[in-house]
Structure 1
Amino acid sequence: MTDAPEPNPSPPSPPTPSTAPPVRRMDARSLRGLAHPLRMRILDLLTLDGADTATGLGRRLGENTGTVSWHLRHLADHGFIEEETGRGTRRERWWRAVRAARRLDTNDFRDDPDMRGALSVYLHETVHQGFDQVTTYLAEEWSPEWRDAGTLSRWQDLRLTPEQLAALNAELEAVVVRHREAAARDGATPEAEEARPVLVQLHSFPRKERDER
């Protein structure tokens, strides 16, 4: 049985704008432009920590400023970063990551022999970055509250079809998006003062059985 509506319902609340960044689908040109270990590390630092200069990035990465400057220009040419205008000088430019979520479909490139090298570099560097971030977290000192809140989890007792695995990943992504948008709505609350940047890493993939290897 459905309840009858209130006789004078209050007006609905305006929808909350989505905090999701625009999605950039990686094509061959953008993949070639990004698939370099140092460029990917530079972009990751600008994405996670905000704008920086070639000098600052070189210091953090242990690289020559001139080398970093060359890669920054390359990233800018491919639309991954942009200059932060009104800041810095002609000799010291500030760069920031363009706000976008990168989406790469490996099926777009697997049958193209000219793209296999770039695809391999991109995927391996992505995995290495995630591994380095996890090991850094484990080596750092955290309060008990933050240490207990973090997790490194693995479930090995699932047997799924490709469709079920795709549905699992879509559902997990939806959970992350829901929490991101809830955090954006609650940004002005007192609890937000205790908030820190959080990385969510999800690795889910099929595993060959013993007699298939």
Structure 2
Amino acid sequence: MTPAESSSSARRQDRVLDAGALRALAHPLRVQMFDILSQYGPQTASTLASLTGESTGATSYHLRALARQDLIREVEGRGSGRERWWERPAGGIELSAPESARTPAGRAAMQVVMTETLNRRHQQLMEYVSRSLSETDDWREGSIISTGTARLTAEQMTEMTQRLQAIIDETVLRYRDQQGEGVRPVTMRADVFPLPPEGH
């Protein structure tokens, strides 16, 4: 959900978040709930309360705020009047909308969303590192935590990130809603960015 989540792939239609959607999302609990819906699929206010440690009243309130900006939607034909299921629409989102970045409030909202999202990603990574030795061999061997450094031009870096994003997009498109025995949510990260020039 960072700016790198955007792609030039023709298959991918990212939603550019306007100022209203950014403000709606710029709350730690809303970022967490939005991320849970992205990673684990449809949830109710009750299941989100259980997953976040918040009250059902709080999660219901924040779900409605997200829904007003079409960041999430109610799952049709599922649940009852008292138990509504919510989902995040498929597709990427773009946080760094130029019009939002023009105002201090817009930049502050973008900063909150990016900071909360990246903090959650880092927390999930560290939790995996802590439990990796208790994972079965097939899951552990299929995982990768890797860092490499190369000296690239901006064009070379862009070409590589587009290739990485295309692989992620293809995998998400093919398996996003897969169900069945042995299926688990898998998060895919591609952290590619330039380091400061020498001497800085």
Q: TM-score scaled by structure 1?
A: 0.77
Which sections of structure 1, spanning at least 5 residues, go unmatched?
A: 1-19
What residue in structure 2 maps to residue 206 of structure 1? 194
Task: Report the alpha carbon displacement of residue 74 of structure 1 after superposing the two structures with TM.
Answer: 0.4
Distance 2:25 2:57 in 1: 18
Return the offset for 1:152: 0.5
Change in Cα spacing, 1:81 to 1:179, as seen in structure 2 (3 Å) is closer
Contact residue 21 and residue 99 of structure 1 kept, 8 A: no
Matched, 1:165 2:153: no
Is residue 95 from structure 1 mapped to residue 83 from structure 2 by the alignment?
no
Shift of 1:55: 1.6
Partner residue in 2 for 1:139: 130
Radius of gyration: which is bigger? 1
Higher relative contact order, structure no. (Cα contacts within 8 Å, ≥ 6 residues apart): 2
Tell me how large the CA RMSD over aligned residues is. Answer: 2.5
Aligned residue in 2 for 1:174: 166
Q: 1:21 to 1:51 in 2, by over 3 A?
A: farther
Q: 2:79 is matched by which residue type in structure 1?
A: G
Matches within 5 A, 1:1-213: 22-105=13-96, 107-140=98-131, 141-156=134-149, 158-180=150-172, 194-209=182-197, 211-212=199-200
- Could you tell me how far 1:99 is from its partner in structure 2? 1.9
Query: TM-score, normalising length from structure 2?
Result: 0.81
Query: By how many angstroms is 1:71 displaced?
Result: 0.3
Deviation per CA, 1:143-189, whole angstroms, max 9, x where unpaired? 11211110100012x122322222221121122234445668xx79x
The equivalent residue for 1:16 is none
Alignment size in residue pairs: 187
User: Displacement of 1:193 after TM fit?
Assistant: 5.4
Distance in 2 of aligned mates of 1:201 and 1:181: 16
